[in-house]
Amino acid sequence: MSDAVLETELLTKKYSRRVVVNQLSLKVERGDIFGFLGRNGAGKSTTIRMALGLVRPTSGRVRLLGHDMSKHPLRALARIGAIIEAPAFYDHFSGWRNLRMFAAMSGGAKTERIEAVLDIVGLRDRAHDPVRVYSHGMRQRLGIAQALLPAPEFVILDEPTDGLDPQGIHEMRLLIRRLRDELGLTIMLSSHLLFEVEQICNRIAIIDQGRLIYQGSIEELIAKTTTIKLTVDRIEEAYQLLSHNPKLSVSRNGDQSLYVIMADDQIPLVNALLVERGFRVMELSPQRETLEQVFLRLTQNPATTEAKN
């Protein structure tokens, strides 16, 4: 049996004639911290809403914790926690009271459970202050406490770090890790903070204009694109020599270096060839792209690319 907690199959959403999610097949496995990335308007929140049964797909299917969401949405939803965009609270009530009221609306929760979730998110000390005096980061954490109330197996967080300061972002990162490591939860989060995503997620999906453009591990995505920076004398001659080799993709960036995309086993051969032809090789170094660089490259639309060239 598949160990997927969320599986979408050719999921599509159209608003009038505009396709905002386009044949998207995602798979979040048990134990993942799964990053869901895409530019503003790429279709992340719409996909999450469809996954939770809040928006009806135009076509395609969603299986959540093994249940078909078009047939048995409630069976899965009982075991899910989610925050979509900013969670709403009653400002004049305390964090504790908000959780109590939320619990009452969704079948009740024991006092110990409310205290436990406040503990997990580090709000126990401030639980009796009114939410109106909470900082933005404290509200985000109260939102997570609310999502954790039903003791879910799977938590979906839509931009949990939105608007947080560096300290708040760091705390959120630690909290999300703890949810997985100590509570054994599976987590899916959308975020624009690619450095954060690189730090905590084991797998990611990148979408652009509703379409999947990558799904898999971050390491694989980054490893696929090893570029070697090559600094040699007689740069123009070296460029001519290497660009004739169909196994290499060579470009120049205007500085005194060439950038060559090649498989690892080509590196010593290229080096030997250059030395044999009398070039002085000053530098030959792999340039590991960051997730942010890969993301920007993959999601750059043709209009902006042209404008830059």
Query: Which pair of tokens denotes residue 153?
Result: 């197996």
Nearest CB to ligand ATP, comparing residues 159 and 171: 159
Taking the complex as a whole, the smallest distance from the CB of residue 225 to ligand ATP amounts, in Å, to: 24
Q: Is 191 near Mg ion (CB under 5 A)?
A: no
Taking the complex as a whole, the smallest distance from the CB of residue 144 to ligand ATP amounts, in Å, to: 18
- DSSP-based three-state secondary structure for 227: strand
15 binds, among Mg ion, ligand ATP, none (CB under 5 to 8 A by kind): ligand ATP
Q: Which of 27, 44, 139, 203 binds ligand ATP (CB under 6 A)?
A: 44
Residues in the chain: 309
- Residue the block writes with tokens 């972002």: 169
Nearest CB to Mg ion, comparing residues 45 and 140: 45
Binding part of the chain for ligand ATP, among 34-42, 141-149, 274-282, 291-299 by CB under 6 A, reads 34-42
Distances (CA, A) of 145 to 78, 96, 154, 155, 176: 16, 10, 14, 11, 12
Taking the complex as a whole, the smallest distance from the CB of residue 38 to Mg ion amounts, in Å, to: 9
Q: Is 203 near ligand ATP (CB under 6 A)?
A: no
Nearest CB to Mg ion, comparing residues 45 and 186: 45
Q: Which of 8, 22, 45, 94 binds Mg ion (CB under 5 A)?
A: 45
Binding part of the chain for ligand ATP, among 43-51, 112-120, 214-222, 233-241 by CB under 6 A, reads 43-51
Binding-site residue total for ligand ATP (CB under 6 A)? 10
Taking the complex as a whole, the smallest distance from the CB of residue 20 to ligand ATP amounts, in Å, to: 4
Q: Is 43 near ligand ATP (CB under 6 A)?
A: yes
186 binds, among ligand ATP, Mg ion, none (CB under 5 to 8 A by kind): none
Binding part of the chain for Mg ion, among 40-48, 137-145, 263-271, 294-302 by CB under 5 A, reads 40-48
Query: Which pair of tokens denotes residue 162?
Result: 């939105």
DSSP per position, 133-180: G--HHHHHHHHHHHHHTT--SEEEEESTTTT--HHHHHHHHHHHHHHH
DSSP per position, 10-41: EEEEEETTEEEEEEE--EEETT-EEEEE--TT
Query: Which pair of tokens denotes residue 269?
Result: 């051969």
Binding part of the chain for Mg ion, among 37-45, 98-106, 135-143, 288-296 by CB under 5 A, reads 37-45
Distance of CA 232 to the CA centre of its chain: 38
Distances (CA, A) of 230 to 234, 238, 271: 12, 10, 9
Query: Which pair of tokens denotes residue 265?
Result: 């086993």
Tell me the H-state helices in 53-165. Answer: 73-77, 95-105, 111-120, 136-148
Interface residue list for ligand ATP (CB under 6 A):
15, 20, 38, 40-46
Interface residue list for Mg ion (CB under 5 A):
44-45
